[in-house]
Amino acid sequence: MYLHLQSTIDDAQRAGVDAAALQLGVRLVAPESGAQLLEGAQLLEIVSAGVPVPERGQVVSAFTVLPGVIEVLDRPGEQPLWSATRRPSTVVEVAGAVFGGGRASIIAGPCAVEDGGELLEIARAVQSRGATLLRGGAFKPRSSPYSFQGLGQRGLQHLKDVRESTGLGIVTEVLDPREIESVLEVADMVQVGARNMANSSLLKELGTVDRPVLLKRGFGATVDEFLNAAEYLLCAGNTRVVLCERGVRSFDQVTRNLLDVGAIAHLRGATHLPIIADPSHAAGRSDLVRAIGRAGMAAGADGLMVEVHLDPSAALSDGQQAIGPDELEALVADAGVLCELDGRTLLTGDHQTQHPSLPKIPTHLRGTA
Amino acid sequence: MYLHLQSTIDDAQRAGVDAAALQLGVRLVAPESGAQLLEGAQLLEIVSAGVPVPERGQVVSAFTVLPGVIEVLDRPGEQPLWSATRRPSTVVEVAGAVFGGGRASIIAGPCAVEDGGELLEIARAVQSRGATLLRGGAFKPRSSPYSFQGLGQRGLQHLKDVRESTGLGIVTEVLDPREIESVLEVADMVQVGARNMANSSLLKELGTVDRPVLLKRGFGATVDEFLNAAEYLLCAGNTRVVLCERGVRSFDQVTRNLLDVGAIAHLRGATHLPIIADPSHAAGRSDLVRAIGRAGMAAGADGLMVEVHLDPSAALSDGQQAIGPDELEALVADAGVLCELDGRTLLTGDHQTQHPSLPKIPTHLRGTA
Amino acid sequence: MYLHLQSTIDDAQRAGVDAAALQLGVRLVAPESGAQLLEGAQLLEIVSAGVPVPERGQVVSAFTVLPGVIEVLDRPGEQPLWSATRRPSTVVEVAGAVFGGGRASIIAGPCAVEDGGELLEIARAVQSRGATLLRGGAFKPRSSPYSFQGLGQRGLQHLKDVRESTGLGIVTEVLDPREIESVLEVADMVQVGARNMANSSLLKELGTVDRPVLLKRGFGATVDEFLNAAEYLLCAGNTRVVLCERGVRSFDQVTRNLLDVGAIAHLRGATHLPIIADPSHAAGRSDLVRAIGRAGMAAGADGLMVEVHLDPSAALSDGQQAIGPDELEALVADAGVLCELDGRTLLTGDHQTQHPSLPKIPTHLRGTA
Amino acid sequence: MYLHLQSTIDDAQRAGVDAAALQLGVRLVAPESGAQLLEGAQLLEIVSAGVPVPERGQVVSAFTVLPGVIEVLDRPGEQPLWSATRRPSTVVEVAGAVFGGGRASIIAGPCAVEDGGELLEIARAVQSRGATLLRGGAFKPRSSPYSFQGLGQRGLQHLKDVRESTGLGIVTEVLDPREIESVLEVADMVQVGARNMANSSLLKELGTVDRPVLLKRGFGATVDEFLNAAEYLLCAGNTRVVLCERGVRSFDQVTRNLLDVGAIAHLRGATHLPIIADPSHAAGRSDLVRAIGRAGMAAGADGLMVEVHLDPSAALSDGQQAIGPDELEALVADAGVLCELDGRTLLTGDHQTQHPSLPKIPTHLRGTA
């Protein structure tokens, strides 16, 4: 058996683990096949300290109650952490938003942060239409080096200011492990973009931070690779992971990408992690965003991430796929109806009043970091 | 200018056209670039008979009221017949079902007709759950020659019997131009399967029959090729065409195909033809059919085609993607809500009572054959 | 055990089979699970006629020497006929061309037959550059009904005339089962196009004709589906099948399709059937045809099918992918070198002189029809 | 007009540029639309300093001879640096290997560095078969966090030792900007893997290092995105870039990926950068590596990167696609023949003796960093 620890475990927590091992009569040693494991993974083999190792149930009870412990494994790698066989669902709470466990929320905002005043205006517009989180890129991954790469630190400052003015939580992308620290000063939720889904260096770092992660599927990635990318986060100890399906490459060109509604439906059963849909990048055209967003919700998504701009035609980056605030309002209304269709609740800003009877989220289902 | 005639135009109709030409002072001649046109296309060039050819408006008025005339074109091939620039929508009525013009309907039944008694049982089950058309293949296109190829004529007879017993309209596939005649004895709507979407011989024949056609998109076909396949039917004179999106090939294997919800949303705007979704072939797994079917409706589909089996695990063909009658009922209920979301009406069997206020379908929007 | 007969077996041949059964002490009966087999498949179950059925080796010896018998199967569908486990290779001879068994040949000509005089000129041009078969479509499958559909019967007549003038064998496509008879009057090899690869009605018919078939892979078809399409021909008794890889759909648009060189390499090991490459449809651009054709040969193709036009820019159909005669000459020279690289021989028109030492093709490897 | 400087320009070089501007009577100013340019891009607008700006020819002559200057642009972003309209070809020399300008070379070695002694053995084996560069990953990007992630620093040390023993140049991958420094202590050529092709942070850093870069195409990336990734390197000043096609995702599963030979052929004409093929990752199966490698060379690749293992079945990572040394030898021989086919030369270790007449590489075609 193996003991899987959070990579962020501190000395006091580790002392607690060692004390439990002593009491159980086992020793915790570095696994033999070390080189084959994730570098930095806190995995210890549970071996005899003279007397026989107790049976699995006893070992599990002794360790999994302790802070800093993720789980007891029969062998490294078995039963991935994302698997729905491990828990019914994970609920990720970010500022006023909740994803999973029967709750859905809307993230909206511009593709890139371009200007502070305008950002505030967009933020107020999406907030009043039901979005509970504001998206906006300060660091933008672009295909061409000559495309707008984002305002960087200046963009982060704009996001910070808008959060203070509106109270909206901020979702923003990080591209480089060296930028994580400054992004964390602003972001309530850190986004890993489609182009970086397989950037294991970045994922390993984000697995150790105390902030929820929005992980977008690569446009050429299989569902299996998508879940493996989530596993990089989970096994490093960050369980507040929200998946985001944003369309995959296909041979047809009427839409930019093809929203994989089958993957959304499959993931609802396969994993306990919440999954949302990004209709903006799937469509690549503003006129189809509402219909594709509805399709994503109908397939079972726990929310949407939508690009909104006050004047889509003037946006520097991806303007052709942004919708205006009124279209967002219509889509939010649709999403609410679709949530009700299978007993879920869409949380808009005023949900405390709207849904007084919404049950409490059980503590054991809350993601932790 | 060119005069586009139905390929089924008869002598009396043609005489009427010639009389109108005489009165207008024009001559109708075979176009010069004949070899480049569809063989059998009834396209005549409108040329001067001495006096100048009248202006377009006059020509259009003179001809388009006549039976056997499709339209007046400025040049061959311009403005395809499927284009939404030509008319707001086409309403296709089949037995009790209606597709388009704000109406949606459900087609359900087994993949293949396997047994007469069982077919009747399934028919009654789907009818009582809201389906208004029964699907079932007598001729089955199969990848392997050793897979069940359908019961052929015997299967058609079973379908005929069930129609008589239940009153359900029949949708069944035709694979071969030589089988059209016998299929027409049974089918209220003829299906062209995904593997035959580009079978132009078959399409040309079906363009001349007096029966609606359900045209499925090939799993490797672009949206443009899909519309071109519809054009084969339309330009031969059959305008009762319902498109069906059933998923395209992708690199991921968690579903059999990937339902192209973006294509559904796009087609709603691009063409006047109704479009439905087939979640069964997209999913390839019964557990995802309901979610994918909902996604198709949410994207704007005018109905669904669903594989239903009383005992899915025992079906000879594609059993793993068939759902049971109760799951169909749940999906039909979902579809009804989704129709209401944008002001459409799902017609189930008892809709005359349910929807007394449903407006009449304007005659000029009805597809003709 | 099951006895697999050619679907073209005649009464005399059938009498011989029955006599052998009598002598062996077995009875031949219709298989119980009849409905699940290919309609028209000549499969009989070998059952006891009182005494025990002899062992497999004896049964095989008794039957497989007889005309009209394909093989003895342990169960329907096992070991597909295309499998390389059945025989080392199939050699398909067509007029002066040979495909398989270490021989390769070049098919060249226009996409569509447009004009008799021009066709003759092209034929002479490709013949003098090393092509041994002339391709040219009389019936053209086109995405749009308004594209040139081929000259039909008139095109066939042109092909016939050119064959008489040049001695080149003719490869031409058939689209419709009803056209097979007239195509057979002209074609030395019948082509099934990519759009019809899964047209099982057409394949079943062509399985019974006495003419080699060039079967093109559908652009959205898996390798498995491609081989299953070949199986339709083989199990109906036509074993003179040449596969043709012509590129598959992909998300990138710099070429029309993506030549699947991995599939060519795989098929060389997986099946005994010869496989050629069509670089013209893969490229969709004349400037890349030579390089892609070389890649196909390097991957192991037993020949090439190339579109050639005297004046590519003037061609009515697919002109942008046709190369001129001199480019063909260069590609044929490349192909010759690539064949030598692994001990194969490219047969150009004057090969009898060139390769006096070429070994005879063993009779048991020749495809039959 | 705009002056495009290397991002690595030093103070002395910049002084030279300013002097030239003074002499020409122009001023160099930060472009107005600054936010839209690549952060860190050294682009200055050339504006009047009172007298009219001289015409383009004069400006180009004055600046492009200076160290630190890349080029003069009419507007930011026009004519990408990768374009073949800019120069006939770029020749990249790495240790004994040369790519481009009619030269091709072979990179071979294990997927991952697993053990020092074994690495030396493989290095000697591939060197004696004609490879001039050794590949081997110390940092491995893996889909699963539980797969072997490479030996890290220890792996780099093994590579360093083997370089000293054998003289082979080293190609190894970098995953994280923070690892570049330590990788540069070992690598003669730095590899950007397919999963990181769109990692713009990494590309921007590598654009400033004095080392050639092997840039692999992402398996879901278009050719356009591939070239844009190269542009990140080029515009930051590193022009020693070798592209590597390694297969793209497709719907068929007989090979792991589909080697895009059309892209290789296209890139030969579209860009001056050399392009090599990686048949190992395309095939995903050792039995097809030779055939697919040949196809890549036949399409025009300037070399190959091949996974080789002494005992493929025992490799910890990607063993199923590694070939043995003798298969490498056969593939190198094939590659030599294919190079000769179009007048190129494959450089194996002993090429100085073999090709005494090989012309010198013109200085202006050598990539610089």
Encode chain C in three state secondary structure.
CEEEECCCCCHHHHHHHHHHHHHHCEEEECCCCHHHCCCCCEEEEEEECCCCCCCHHHHHHHHHCCCCEEEEECCCCCCCCCECCCCCCCEEEECCEEEECCEEEEEEECCECCCHHHHHHHHHHHHHCCCCEEECECCCCCCCCCCCCCCCHHHHHHHHHHHHHHCCEEEEECCCHHHHHHHHCCCCEEEECHHHCCCHHHHHHHCCCCCCEEEECCCCCCHHHHHHHHHHHHHCCCCCEEEEECCECCCCCCCCCECCHHHHHHHHHHECCCEEECHHHHHCCHHHHHHHHHHHHHCCCCEEEEEECCCHHHCCCCHHHCECHHHHHHHHHHHHHHHHHCCCEEECCCHHHHCCCCCCCCHHHECCC
**A and D: number of Cβ contacts within 8 A:** 116
**Beta carbons within 8 Å of A161's beta carbon, 6+ residues apart:** A116, A120
Give whichever of A297-301, C139-143, C307-311 has the largest mean pLDDT.
Answer: A297-301
* Minimal C-alpha gap between A19 and chain C (Å): 57
Average pLDDT, chain D: 89
Contacts of C253 in chain A (CB under 8 A): 253
pLDDT of residue D67: 81
Q: By CA distance, what is A139's nearest residue in D?
A: D201
Mean pLDDT of B123-139: 96
* Minimal C-alpha gap between A368 and chain B (Å): 29
* Contact across the interface for A250 and C250, Cβ inside 8 Å: no
* Minimal C-alpha gap between B224 and chain C (Å): 9
Query: Which of 3.40.50.2000, 3.40.50.300, 3.20.20.70, 3.30.365.10 would CATH assign to domain A92-365?
Result: 3.20.20.70
**Ranges of each domain in chain B:** 2-73, 92-365
Q: Rounded to an integer, what distance in angstroms lies between the CA atom of residue D250 and that of residue D255?
A: 9
pLDDT of residue D311: 79
Q: Which residue, chain included where needed, has tokens 């704007």?
A: B300
Q: Rounded to an integer, what distance in angstroms lies between the CA atom of residue C238 and that of residue D98?
A: 51
Q: Is the dihedral of CA A94, A100, A103, A106 positive or negative?
A: positive
Best residue in C39, C146, C158, C281 for a mutation probing chain B (most B CBs within 10 Å):
C146
* Contact across the interface for B222 and A252, Cβ inside 8 Å: yes
* Contact across the interface for B253 and D253, Cβ inside 8 Å: yes
* Contact across the interface for B149 and C39, Cβ inside 8 Å: yes
Q: By CA distance, what is A75's nearest residue in D?
A: D146
pLDDT of residue C87: 82
SS3 content of chain D, % helix, strand, coil (to 5): 40, 20, 40
Question: How does residue D27 score in pLDDT terms, banded at 50, 70 and 90?
Answer: very high
Segments of chain A with pLDDT less than 70: 32-41, 76-78, 312-319, 350-359, 368-369
pLDDT of residue A146: 77
pLDDT of residue C35: 35
Mean pLDDT of B307-324: 79
D251 pLDDT more than 80: yes
Mean pLDDT of D291-312: 95
Q: Rounded to an integer, what distance in angstroms lies between the CA atom of residue B83 and that of residue B73?
A: 14
Q: By CA distance, what is D255's nearest residue in B?
A: B251
Predicted confidence (pLDDT) per residue in A56-91, tens digit: 888 988 898 788 887 788 776 667 899 987 888 999
pLDDT of residue C127: 97
**ipTM, interface predicted TM-score of the complex:** 0.84
B356 pLDDT more than 60: no
pLDDT of residue A36: 41
Q: Rounded to an integer, what distance in angstroms lies between the CA atom of residue D189 and that of residue D169?
A: 8
- Select the residue of A248, A254, A296 nearest B263 (Cβ to Cβ): A254
Answer with the residue of higher pLDDT: C299 or A358: C299
* Minimal C-alpha gap between A286 and chain D (Å): 23
DSSP-H helix ranges across chain B: 11-24, 56-64, 116-128, 153-166, 180-184, 200-206, 223-235, 261-270, 279-283, 289-298, 325-341, 351-354
- Select the residue of A144, A179, A200 nearest D231 (Cβ to Cβ): A144
Q: Which chains touch C (3 or more CB pairs under 8 A)?
A: A, B, D
pLDDT of residue D293: 98
Predicted confidence (pLDDT) per residue in D71-122, tens digit: 788 776 667 899 988 888 999 999 989 999 999 999 999 999 988 899 999 9
Best residue in A222, A248, A252 for a mutation probing chain B (most B CBs within 10 Å):
A252
pLDDT of residue B33: 54
Answer with the residue of higher pLDDT: B165 or A150: B165
Interface of chain C toward chain D, CB-CB under 8 angstroms: 220, 222-224, 247-255, 257-266, 268-269, 282-283, 287-288, 291-292, 294-300, 334, 337-338, 341
Best residue in D294, D334, D346 for a mutation probing chain C (most C CBs within 10 Å):
D294
Question: How does residue B77 score in pLDDT terms, banded at 50, 70 and 90?
Answer: low
Answer with the residue of higher pLDDT: C43 or B357: C43
Q: Rounded to an integer, what distance in angstroms lies between the CA atom of residue A47 and that of residue D217?
A: 45
Give percent of chain D with pLDDT exceeding 90: 66
Question: How does residue D368 score in pLDDT terms, banded at 50, 70 and 90?
Answer: low
pLDDT of residue C38: 45
Cα dist from D279 to A19, C59, D170, whole Å: 53, 46, 19
Mean pLDDT of C12-20: 91
E strands, A219-364, are 241-245, 275-277, 303-307, 345-346
* Contact across the interface for C261 and D263, Cβ inside 8 Å: no
pLDDT of residue B35: 35
Q: Rounded to an integer, what distance in angstroms lies between the CA atom of residue B230 and that of residue C176?
A: 19
Answer with the residue of higher pLDDT: D143 or C191: C191
Q: By CA distance, what is C283's nearest residue in D?
A: D262
Question: How does residue B10 score in pLDDT terms, banded at 50, 70 and 90?
Answer: confident
Contacts of B199 in chain C (CB under 8 A): 175, 195-196, 199
Task: Give the single-character DSSP code of D238.
Answer: -
Question: How does residue C316 score in pLDDT terms, banded at 50, 70 and 90?
Answer: low
Pairing of strands D42-48, D26-29: antiparallel
Give whichever of B105-114, C50-59, C305-314 has the largest mean pLDDT.
Answer: B105-114
CA angle, D219 as apex, D217 and D223 as ends, to 5°? 50
pLDDT of residue D358: 62
Predicted confidence (pLDDT) per residue in C76-118, tens digit: 666 789 998 888 899 999 998 999 999 999 999 999 998 889 9
Best residue in D143, D248, D249, D251 for a mutation probing chain B (most B CBs within 10 Å):
D251
